[in-house]
Structure 1
Amino acid sequence: MTIGTGLDLRHYGRESAAAIRELLLDVHDEVYEGVDDPLTPREAFAKFVDSWSSKESFACVIAYDQAQPVGYAYGASLGASTTWWAKVTPPLPAAFTAETGTRTFALSELMVRVPWRGTGASVRIHDTLMASRREERATLLVHKDHVKVRALYEAWGYEAVGECVPFEGAPELCAMVLPLH
């Protein structure tokens, strides 16, 4: 495999959500096959896809390699009434957590199918999505115990700002932030 150079990276928004929904779910099912986590079954993940893709600011980049889906990243801007930062510990200053709907882009998902892992595809997908954003920063939540994934995000410029369990049934996550532009 080449290092992600031959990828066709395509942008999608809320208006395309229905058209890409099954592809997002199929890639997720393949990536998380055999993972014992209550949030990974297709039905559970579909609720997240539907919630995120219904947001006006929903943005998604899907990478293809000769018509084969390689992986994707998606998210949306945090609105003024978001609870994203509410359970982060240690508590963050109000000036940091204040959202306007245009301040922070929340990267909800980034996944790459096994044949394309280690090729640079994930950073190309991520960077293509982030290059299209006008927010001042991006944020994501990553499993606290996934040390290699956290290190990858740190190599891309993300910084850990705390930990949280955002809702019942979720694992302990690390909240990270990346300045944009």
Structure 2
Amino acid sequence: MTAARIIELRTFTVLEPVRGELLDVYAEVRAPLLHMPNYAVTAFGERLDRHGSESGFVAVLAYADGHPVGFAYGNTVGHGDRYWQRTSPTPAEQYTECPALALKEGGVRPAWRGTGTARRIHDALLAESAEAYVTLMVNPAAGDGKVHELYRSWGYEDIGQSQPSPASPVLTVMIRPIR
């Protein structure tokens, strides 16, 4: 029974030690989508490298029996950041005037879905954050809308849309206070 196993959460502020593990978990989490250019492991690796070099990078990985079963990572976005520039309509200044934590990517291996692992990873990522808000972008079609609804149940609200790259679907930008 997956839910009964002990999960260890580890936080990293440097990408290199966990880059390979992040790529491995991502490949399994996104397996049905890997044929699409935006979801290809190489595209994710390029985004991961860019995000890992940006201000405030933090990643949380969940491990069971020493093996990674899920992750989330993000970094700080400040006023004028391209993250906000690509969001339409322009977000309210209360969200953009001070740095926010942008949750850039996350996922849990299929065998660990529905166990609360994703929420534990999410909450651990926010626990050390000094920012007032956390923001994320979600594909509203992911899981037939269930992923979007999950984030709503965690207190996020929709504030706009963004298409970070030509290969990306139009994503819903969401935000919530960290505390």
- The reply to whether TM is greater than 0.5 is yes
Q: Could you tell me which residue of structure 1 aligns to residue 70 of structure 2?
A: 71
Paired letter, 1:120: G
Which structure has greater helix proportion? 2
Q: Could you tell me which residue of structure 2 aligns to residue 137 of structure 1?
A: 133
Residue 114 of structure 2 is aligned to residue 118 of structure 1: yes
| Contact 1:7 1:64 (8 Å CA) reproduced | yes
Paired letter, 1:157: G
Residue 20 of structure 2 is aligned to residue 22 of structure 1: yes
Farther off after superposition, 56-65 or 81-90: 81-90
In 2, the alpha carbon distance for the partners of 1:126 and 1:142 equals 14
For structure 2, the residue ranges without an aligned partner over 5 or more in a row are: none
Residue 2 of structure 2 is aligned to residue 6 of structure 1: no
Q: Aligned with 1:161: secondary structure?
A: strand
Q: Aligned with 1:88: secondary structure?
A: coil
In 1, the alpha carbon distance for the partners of 2:89 and 2:39 equals 28
Paired letter, 2:8: D
1:108 to 89, 104, 115: 104
| Contact 1:4 1:124 (8 Å CA) reproduced | no
Q: Aligned with 2:32: secondary structure?
A: coil
Q: Aligned with 2:31: secondary structure?
A: coil
In 2, the alpha carbon distance for the partners of 1:5 and 1:126 equals 19
List structure 1 runs of 4+ shifted beyond 4 angstroms: none
| Contact 1:76 1:107 (8 Å CA) reproduced | yes
- Between Structure 1 and Structure 2, how many residues are aligned? 176
Residue 80 of structure 2 is aligned to residue 84 of structure 1: no
Q: Could you tell me which residue of structure 2 aligns to residue 59 of structure 1?
A: 58
TM-score, normalised to structure 1's length? 0.90
TM-superposition CA deviations, 1:40-60 (whole Å, max 9, x none) = 222111101101111231001
Q: 1:136 to 1:23 in 2, by over 3 A?
A: same
TM-superposition CA deviations, 1:68-125 (whole Å, max 9, x none) = 21100000000344111223233334x245344xx20000011000110111100000
TM-score, normalised to structure 2's length? 0.91
Shift of 1:4: 6.9
Shift of 1:39: 1.4
Q: Aligned with 2:37: secondary structure?
A: coil
In 1, the alpha carbon distance for the partners of 2:10 and 2:85 equals 33
Shift of 1:161: 0.6
Q: Aligned with 1:61: secondary structure?
A: strand
